[in-house]
Amino acid sequence: MNEQAFRANQIYDWLWVKSCTNFDDMSNVSKLLRVKLADKYVINAVKVDKSQFSSDRTIKSTFKLYDENIIEGVLIPAADRMTACVSSQVGCSLTCKFCATGYMDRKRNLNADEIYDQVVLIDQQAKLNYQIPLTNIVYMGMGEPLLNYANVLKSIERITSDTGLNMAAKRITVSTAGIAKMIKKLGDDQVRFNLALSLHAANDIKRNEIMPINEQNSLKALAEALKYYFSKTKNPVTFEYIVFDNFNDELQDAAELAKFCKHIPCKVNIIEYNPISFAEYQNAGVDKIEAFADYLKKQGVNTNIRRSRGKDIDAACGQLAVKQTA
Ligand code: SF4
């Protein structure tokens, strides 16, 4: 635009550091340039559509994108951390049987700036409601992050940049349903953030049943990809496992999981399930879950049981499905 170079830095600062959504607010930019910018460009800002507050202080928000599509993101406050759970796609092309998002079509990928904006908006909610900024980000909302690889990595680059949100990569976790080829690519790209794999069964027959993506990405292929990833990054991996009642809740299942864990340094998070109306899966009983976890621990597997948050507002794991607009 034949402007002086420092103007570009000013505008960059307004967009990425100050998260400005209107050219007219860029107060150190000349009025004339602000008008020229507004004539030529638009800022496709993400906006909070609605927020719901859980009795456990979790806040679920629907966000409206520039094209009227809606996604969901969640703020999860805990004693030692303030976590944002963000979406990476509008809907999801995978069809995990236990997940509400899996029953929606994938409409499109989110752009890197849209993922970044979700984080900024959830950070604002954390500061406004709890006076604490975000400490952690998990890519566990709607969508499969590794099927929107470039935008997810670009958003993390901005979130971790000192000219962005300046967050440590170690505070970010990307969770995948298991795309072997892309796990290898994470290794090649030597990423510094954490990787979690939604495993839920360490047996191909059972995993095929609940996660059809396993048909092209068998446990053997995933184990190979994870070993490659670890050899390149030296990052341990987290396996997420929901103990479903009468499906994968026996000690035999725990034994298969413990065996799978031997492939690379890892830990297991046992996640509480939140039944959805589309599917018949139920969470196993507390005794079964504890016996399952104890077995893993005895086998030397670092295991934690994670309670779900925001169940009363459908904000918990596997429940994101934009009910308001469906
Ligand atoms: S669990 Fe994740 S990958 Fe599977 S359908 Fe749900 S959003 Fe998609």
Can you tell me the mean pLDDT for 256-266?
98
User: Does the annotation count 317 as an active-site position?
Assistant: yes
Residue at token pair 């779900």: 308
Can you tell me the mean pLDDT for 16-31?
94
How are beta strands 47-53 and 59-64 bridged, if at all?
antiparallel
270 contact partners, CB below 8 Å, separation of at least 6: 241, 242, 243, 289, 292, 293, 303, 304, 305, 306
Q: What is the pLDDT of residue 151?
A: 98
- Side-by-side strand order, sheet with 172-176: 47-53, 59-64, 70-77, 82-85, 136-139, 172-176, 194-198, 237-242, 266-271, 302-306
Can you tell me the mean pLDDT for 282-293?
94
Residue 50: strand pairing partners: 62
Can you tell me the mean pLDDT for 91-95?
94
Closest ligand 1 atom to residue 93 Cα is: 8
Can you tell me the mean pLDDT for 292-318?
86
Q: Can you give the residue ranges of every domain in the chain?
A: 1-43, 45-313
Q: What is the pLDDT of residue 26?
A: 97
- Candidate of 96, 103, 146 to mutate for ligand 1, largest count of ligand atoms within 8 Å of Cβ: 96
The average confidence (pLDDT) of the chain is 94
214 contact partners, CB below 8 Å, separation of at least 6: 178, 204, 207, 208
Q: Where are the alpha helices (DSSP H) in the chain?
A: 5-12, 31-40, 112-130, 149-160, 180-188, 204-210, 219-233, 251-261, 286-298
Residue 266: strand pairing partners: 237
Stronger pLDDT, 309 or 16, i.e. the higher one: 16
Q: Is the CB of 143 under 6 A from ligand 1?
A: yes
Q: Is the CB of 99 under 6 A from ligand 1?
A: yes
Q: What is the pLDDT of residue 318?
A: 66
Distance of CA 22 from the midpoint of ligand 1 (Å): 34
Q: Which residue of the set 96, 99, 261, 317 is catalytic? A: 317
User: Does the annotation count 3 as an active-site position?
Assistant: no
pLDDT at 325 over 50: no
- As a whole number of angstroms, the distance between CA 48 and CA 41 comes to 22
Distance of CA 175 from the midpoint of ligand 1 (Å): 10
% of the chain residues with pLDDT over 70: 96
The conformational region for residue 155 under phi > 0 = left, psi -120 to 50 = alpha, else beta, is: alpha
% of the chain residues with pLDDT over 90: 87
State pLDDT tens for residues 194-251.
999 999 999 999 999 999 999 999 999 999 999 999 999 999 999 999 999 999 999 9
Residue 272 pLDDT level (bands cut at 50, 70, 90): confident
Classified as helix, coil or strand, 89 is strand
Residue at token pair 């899996």: 102
CATH class of residue range 45-313: alpha beta
What's the one-letter identity of residue 198? S
Tokens representing 10? 């000013």
Q: Is the CB of 272 under 6 A from ligand 1?
A: no
Pick the CATH number of 1-43 from 3.40.50.280, 3.40.50.720, 1.10.150.530, 3.50.50.60: 1.10.150.530
pLDDT at 316 over 70: no
Can you tell me the mean pLDDT for 156-185?
96
Q: Is the CB of 144 under 6 A from ligand 1?
A: yes
Can you tell me the mean pLDDT for 8-29?
94
Distance of CA 144 from the midpoint of ligand 1 (Å): 6
- As a whole number of angstroms, the distance between CA 127 and CA 148 comes to 29
Q: What is the pLDDT of residue 314?
A: 74
Q: Which residue of the set 72, 114, 240, 272 is catalytic? A: 72
Distance of CA 168 from the midpoint of ligand 1 (Å): 26
Mean pLDDT lowest for which of 39-43, 280-284, 307-311? 307-311
CB 118 within 8 A of CB 103: no
Q: Is the CB of 242 under 6 A from ligand 1?
A: no
Q: Is the CB of 96 under 6 A from ligand 1?
A: yes
Q: What is the pLDDT of residue 104?
A: 86
State pLDDT tens for residues 126-162.
999 999 999 999 999 999 999 999 999 999 999 999 9
Q: Is the CB of 102 under 6 A from ligand 1?
A: yes
Residue 323 pLDDT level (bands cut at 50, 70, 90): low
Distance of CA 33 from the midpoint of ligand 1 (Å): 44
Q: Is the CB of 101 under 6 A from ligand 1?
A: yes
How are beta strands 136-139 and 108-109 bridged, if at all?
unpaired
CB 174 within 8 A of CB 185: no
- Candidate of 144, 173, 222 to mutate for ligand 1, largest count of ligand atoms within 8 Å of Cβ: 144
Nearest residue (by CA) to ligand 1, atom 3, is 144
pLDDT at 321 over 80: no
